[in-house]
Structure 1
Amino acid sequence: MYLSEFPPEFQQALPILQQIEANGYEAYFVGGSVRDFLLGKAIADVDIATSAFPAEIKAIFPVTIDTGIKHGTVTVLVDHVGYELTTFRTESGYQDFRRPDQVTFVRSLAQDLQRRDFTINALAVRHDGLVIDHFAGLADLRAKQIRAVGAAEARFHEDALRMMRAVRFSSQLGFTIVPETYQSLIDNRALLDKIAVERIHTEFIKMMLSPNWQVGWASFLQTGLVAHVPFFKDQALTMPTFAQRATSALQDEAAVWTMLADVAALSDQQLTVMLRQWKTANQVIAASRASLAFSRKLQAGQAISAADLYQLDDQVLPRLATVGANLGWTVDFADLEQRYQALPIHDAHELAVDGGLLMARLGLTPGPQLGRALKSAEQAVVSGAVINEPETLIVWLRKRLPDMI
């Protein structure tokens, strides 16, 4: 088939393909950008595969960067925009089940596409719009299927992370993993133990932040991949499939961990241990812990004060709203959000007085009394006991200074 028109991203990069072909080589748009365009989705990155070897690419274009030249990737800069060009290649000797021990540059597009993970990612588009499909990827796109290129076992032994990519794509696209590829996930799941946690983490979070995350999550559980990832493999946790309820998209990574911690009834300490094992960023750990703690108050039916809301950042309530929608909480998040937005201040930086002003107006010196005065003013403003205005706060504090000694 031919594309009737190119997306703007392809149109902008088209001169690169034409210039390569003018020099006697082949060049194609490949991979995820082709897949996403055919699915009507936004294109993230434009990848180009070519029969030209790296040295030949560098001879054609005046400005290049050796991005990953050992594996055949050169970045070409055109009008200050970078495009990654990768030479057709074959790979062999995957001793670590992740990276090839040997890369061989070839001139054949068919050989290059054969090494790719799934048929829907093994499509190529020529400069004139011809879609090249050696592995029935177009049919799988139409059927909404995830299928390995060739033998699934061989693809997973080459790169075990592809098993996580399978469940991630099923989440992102809402596709079904075909039976033979699905069975290979089950048969080869232990290979996931060979993969660095950071790589698994990336795919897992992409899966869980996808519109159809429950699809990937169900496969993640049912194939047994869950038993070969950090924390989960050492815990006897009962995790729901969410198949019996409607689900909605989660806001961010902290929402993912908060939801899983809640359904697994994890303590704050267990949540922290889990996130450390997953090599999670410190800010995500802090956000997840704060969100879980506040969610426990909500589910316990505790009255939520202005002081409770003040302890939150502006992401906690929207985050928990997405979690609660998936777990069936009966919490009025709209009311909580309205109350949060109505707080006089949302952090100490918004307080109308600071240490310098209090020292100048009240004669305070640096030390505990100054700290207590600022904290008292902050709490009083949040509770509505005094308005957040400098002169009003000075008068209010002057009356209370004796009690702060």
Structure 2
Amino acid sequence: MKIKNLPDEFEKARPVMQKIEAAGYEAYFVGGSVRDTIIGEKIHDVDIASSAYPEEIKKLFKRTVDTGIEHGTVMVLDNDKGYEITTFRTESGYQDYRRPDKVTFVRSLKEDLKRRDFTINALAMRENGEVTDLFGGIADIDKKIIRAVGNPNERFNEDALRMMRAVRFASKLNFNIEKETFNAIEKHSSLLEKIAIERIYVEFIKMMKGLKPKQGIDDMISTNMYLHVPLFADYRQQLSNISHFKNLNLNNEIEVWSLICFEFGLNREQISNFLKSWKASNEVINNTQTCCYALNAIQNDNMSDFLMYLTGENLLLEANYIASFYDCSIDNELLKKQYSSLPIKNKKQLAINGGILIKNGILKPGPMLGKALNAIEKQVVIGNLDNNTENIINFTKQYLKE
């Protein structure tokens, strides 16, 4: 197979490839960029593999960076763009089910491709567009199949995260997992506990943002992988419920976690504990809590101006999108109009601040200052207090008397 019209990302990298080949070495584009080009998906960056050893690459190019020299990766800087060149290699001795104990540089493309996870990712392409397919990856793309390279039991014992990658690719591409590969995932699903949750987190979010997250969830349940990630075992039915929603089209991790936490029926504290077990960032935890609170308000038809204000437009719209799965969403344009009509959108827009109140001798630094500012903020937002300095000062004086 030869790809005639190469994406711009490949075209820009061709001079680097040609220089490696001119020196007598092999060089190929490998992995996801080749797969996505064949499928017709947009690519974002390219990976290059070569028979040249790291020191040989460094001799060929004036500007290089040792980005992963122990694994054979050198970044070549060319025309203000960096290209990572990785030497063909074999790997062995995966005692922790995550990383190879030993990496050996080789000159053979076949040996390099043999260690890759799935046939659709074991494709290599020369700079002129000629594709090398040693494991039936193109046929599997045509059949829409995720199949492990070689023995799937060996692949998953080498890196157990590959099981999550299988369901992620199936969801992302709307493919199905081939039977032997699927059975091997079911057999070794407990190995997922050997993997850092941060790595599973990334694959899970990508799975949920794919074309068929329903299939991803069903595959996790059918293979028992759901039993080996934080707290999912306690919510099997709720997970199954999520897989019944059609056309999720989730855009980001906040929507993913908000849908899950809402379906699980988690309160604010439970959301925090749940997402901490997934090693989510504090920002993700806070935004998910806020989104779920707004989602409850939308479902119960008690969304107020102040809650809109506290939620913020982006999270408000995300909560409303999740509400659409439960047939309780508000018209988006109406929601935007209501939010737009709020007197202020954040505390910085208040006509007064703590410094002004202190300067005018109305308050001193301390807890009462914060309470007063919170009261001012709420009264302005709900329309009971005009946002001008004189009115706010008068309100504050009255507030302190009460």
Alpha-carbon separation, structure 2, partners of 1:242 and 1:305: 28
Deviations 1:318-342 (A, max 9, x none): 2213322334434445433321222
The match for 1:153 is 153
**2:311 alignment partner, SS class:** coil
Higher mean C-alpha displacement, 240-249 vs 115-124: 240-249
**How many aligned positions are there?**
402
Matches within 5 A, 1:319-338: 319-338=318-337
Confirm or deny that 1:403 pairs with 2:401.
yes
Matches within 5 A, 1:118-133: 118-133=118-133
Matches within 5 A, 1:196-215: 196-215=196-215
Measured after TM superposition, the shift of residue 218 of structure 1 is 1.7
Deviations 1:151-176 (A, max 9, x none): 11111111110000001111111111
Alpha-carbon separation, structure 2, partners of 1:147 and 1:249: 25
The match for 1:267 is 267
The match for 2:84 is 84
Measured after TM superposition, the shift of residue 242 of structure 1 is 4.2
Asked whether the 8 Å contact 2:217–2:243 carries over to 1, the reply is: no
The match for 1:304 is 303
Alpha-carbon separation, structure 2, partners of 1:198 and 1:204: 10
Measured after TM superposition, the shift of residue 126 of structure 1 is 0.7
Asked whether the 8 Å contact 1:73–1:87 carries over to 2, the reply is: yes
Identity %: 45
Deviations 1:170-219 (A, max 9, x none): 11111111112111111111111111111111111111122332221221
The match for 1:393 is 392
Asked whether the 8 Å contact 1:247–1:325 carries over to 2, the reply is: no
Measured after TM superposition, the shift of residue 99 of structure 1 is 0.8
Higher mean C-alpha displacement, 237-246 vs 343-352: 237-246
Higher mean C-alpha displacement, 362-371 vs 91-100: 362-371
Asked whether the 8 Å contact 2:192–2:225 carries over to 1, the reply is: yes
**1:311 alignment partner, SS class:** helix
Aligned pair in 2 of structure 1 residues 264, 359: CA closer, same or farther (>3 Å)? closer
Confirm or deny that 1:183 pairs with 2:183.
yes
Deviations 1:354-394 (A, max 9, x none): 22333444654434554444333322211112322334434
Higher mean C-alpha displacement, 20-29 vs 307-316: 307-316
Aligned pair in 2 of structure 1 residues 385, 242: CA closer, same or farther (>3 Å)? closer
Higher mean C-alpha displacement, 31-40 vs 369-378: 369-378
Structure 1, unaligned stretches of length 5 or more? none
**2:221 alignment partner, SS class:** helix
The match for 2:52 is 52
Asked whether the 8 Å contact 1:247–1:326 carries over to 2, the reply is: no
Measured after TM superposition, the shift of residue 267 of structure 1 is 2.9
Q: What is the TM-score normalised by the length of structure 1? A: 0.93
Q: What is the TM-score normalised by the length of structure 2? A: 0.94
**1:77 alignment partner, SS class:** strand
Alpha-carbon separation, structure 2, partners of 1:298 and 1:336: 11
Measured after TM superposition, the shift of residue 349 of structure 1 is 1.0
The match for 2:73 is 73
Alpha-carbon separation, structure 1, partners of 2:322 and 2:290: 14
Partner amino acid for 2:345? H
The match for 1:280 is 280
The match for 1:138 is 138
Alpha-carbon separation, structure 2, partners of 1:158 and 1:116: 10
Partner amino acid for 2:114? Q
Superposition RMSD on alpha carbons, in Å?
Answer: 2.0
Alpha-carbon separation, structure 2, partners of 1:164 and 1:257: 17
Matches within 5 A, 1:308-387: 308-361=307-360, 363-368=362-367, 370-387=369-386
Aligned pair in 2 of structure 1 residues 210, 237: CA closer, same or farther (>3 Å)? same
**1:336 alignment partner, SS class:** helix
Aligned pair in 2 of structure 1 residues 330, 235: CA closer, same or farther (>3 Å)? closer
Alpha-carbon separation, structure 2, partners of 1:363 and 1:191: 63
Measured after TM superposition, the shift of residue 308 of structure 1 is 1.8
Asked whether the 8 Å contact 1:209–1:252 carries over to 2, the reply is: yes
Confirm or deny that 1:165 pairs with 2:162.
no
Higher mean C-alpha displacement, 183-192 vs 25-34: 183-192
Asked whether the 8 Å contact 1:373–1:397 carries over to 2, the reply is: yes
Measured after TM superposition, the shift of residue 55 of structure 1 is 0.9
Alpha-carbon separation, structure 2, partners of 1:386 and 1:270: 36
Structure 2, unaligned stretches of length 5 or more? none
Higher mean C-alpha displacement, 329-338 vs 247-256: 329-338
Aligned pair in 2 of structure 1 residues 357, 273: CA closer, same or farther (>3 Å)? closer
Asked whether the 8 Å contact 1:248–1:322 carries over to 2, the reply is: no
